[in-house]
Amino acid sequence: MIIFITHFGPWPAWIDFFVESCKKNSDIDWVLISDNKDLPRSKSSNVKVMSLPLAEYTQLIGRTLGIDFQPDNPYKVADVRPAFGVIHRDLVGDHDFFGYGDIDVIYGRIRDFYTSEALARFSVLSTHPERLCGHFALLRNIEPLRNAFRRIPSWRTLMEDKRPLAIDEDKSLFLKALYGVRASIPGRIRGLNFLFEERYSSPVPTEEMRWYWKDGILTNEFYGPRGFMYLHFMHWKSSRWYLGRPHVLPGATAPWERLPDIVQLDWRRAGNEGFMISPQGIQALTYRMFGQSAQSS
């Protein structure tokens, strides 16, 4: 499988930790599309950086899809994620699946959850139960799914709109188009099944919440040895997402916005020894199970 992630602007502080987590998923390819000329310091053969200015990338999108794509905001690029199978057909190649995701994540062992059996059975996979998930979604690399975005009513108008419209995640848009594809799939393609299962990947942080990554395995202090597919820390990094959560007081600041440094550990050491993710940032491992005293790794 191949996963596309767009990021315009400086690399986030955790980019090398992100790459380290990709490295442990060696049978999955990632393409980071960015205007950064500098590559992440952590290198992995399964992580490719496509470096080009936002204006050139939007021109590529417009030219490939035959639309006038001139967004005011880089976030608008997310609206064309359903079309990545067409926009990047040369990179998708003969991969069995293509998909998209976000960069504010740390991966566990993805194939422990999306096994060979699951990928043989399901053609559309999401980590939310009710919709396509913007931070991780997969589609089988077949023509009806590569072009399913064309079934979205007024898809050209929606993509040409300069505002981000969450086309990829809105249940009435791309998801509805996918269900339509399933209804009309030719008989020669058997079993276009959907696996939409909550992976508990986007927790809203409390003051005490530790996640542990070591040797590609991602765990949490509340769940003992249970592994997680990935951690999406959208709510940790930005008050834009943090505010409005049920337990968050009005005017509160996201945990990582309070820190002088999010990353407090060298990524090379982290790749070898593991690391901890908590409201206090990315640090050396200090294991603790809920209700027990702290214990260093």
Per-residue model confidence (pLDDT) at position 185: 63
Which of 109, 133, 285 is closest to 202 using CA atoms? 133
Evaluate whether residue 205 is within a structural domain: no
Per-residue model confidence (pLDDT) at position 46: 98
| 132 & 246 share domain | no
Q: Where are the extended beta strands (E) located within the chain?
A: 2-7, 29-34, 47-51, 97-101, 105-107, 122-126, 136-140, 193-196, 211-214, 217-220, 230-232, 275-278, 281-283, 286-287, 295-296
How much is the pTM? 0.92
| 114 & 77 share domain | yes
Domain count, the chain: 2
Evaluate whether residue 273 is within a structural domain: yes
| 155 & 282 share domain | no
| 236 & 192 share domain | no
Instruction: Identify whether the C-beta of residue 30 lies closer than 8 Å to the C-beta of residue 2.
Output: yes
Evaluate whether residue 290 is within a structural domain: yes
Evaluate whether residue 206 is within a structural domain: no
Per-residue model confidence (pLDDT) at position 191: 59
Instruction: Identify whether the C-beta of residue 139 lies closer than 8 Å to the C-beta of residue 93.
Output: no
Spell out the long-range contacts of 90-95 with Cβ–Cβ below 8 A and sequence spacing 24 or more. 91/2, 91/4, 91/31, 91/48, 92/2, 92/141, 92/146, 93/2, 94/141, 95/1, 95/2, 95/29, 95/141
Per-residue model confidence (pLDDT) at position 189: 55
CA dihedral 29, 35, 38, 40 (to 10 degrees): -40
Per-residue model confidence (pLDDT) at position 190: 57
CA angle, residues 20, 285, 296, in degrees to nearest 5 = 155
- Please report, for the domain that includes residue 115, its CATH number: 3.90.550
pLDDT in tens, the chain (297 residues): 999 999 999 999 999 999 999 999 999 999 999 999 899 999 999 999 999 999 999 999 999 999 999 998 999 999 999 999 999 999 999 999 999 999 999 999 999 999 999 999 999 999 999 889 999 999 999 999 999 999 999 999 999 999 999 999 998 899 999 988 877 766 445 557 999 999 989 888 887 899 999 999 999 999 989 999 999 998 888 888 777 777 777 878 889 999 999 999 999 999 999 999 999 999 999 988 765 544 444
Domain encompassing residue 35? 2-196
| 158 & 261 share domain | no
